[in-house]
Copies of this chain bind each other. A is one copy, B any other.
Amino acid sequence: MWGDDLGEVPRTLLDSAVRCFAERGFHATTTRDVSAGAGLSPAALYVHFPSKEAVLYEITRRGHESALAVVRDPAVTDIPEAATRLRAIVAAFVAWHARHHVVARVCQYELASLTAEHHEDIRRLRRRFNTVFRDAVVTGTAQGVFATGDVDRVVRAMLSLGIDLVRWYRLGGADSPEDLGAFYGELAVRMVTAGA
Query: A residues bordering B, Cβ < 8 Å?
Result: 24-28, 108-109, 150, 153-154, 156-157, 160-161, 163-165, 167-168, 175, 183-184, 187, 189-191, 193-196
Given known A190-B195, A195-B190, contact A163–B167 (CB-CB < 8 A): yes
The quantity of this chain's copies bound in the complex is 2
Closest Cβ–Cβ distance, residue A109 to chain B (whole Å) = 7
Q: Which residues of B contact A26 (CB under 8 A)?
A: 25
Q: List 30 A-B contacts (CB under 8 A).
A: A24-B25, A25-B25, A25-B26, A25-B27, A25-B28, A27-B27, A27-B28, A28-B28, A108-B167, A109-B167, A153-B175, A153-B183, A154-B187, A156-B168, A157-B161, A157-B184, A160-B160, A160-B165, A163-B164, A163-B167, A164-B164, A187-B191, A189-B195, A190-B191, A190-B193, A190-B194, A190-B195, A191-B191, A193-B195, A196-B196
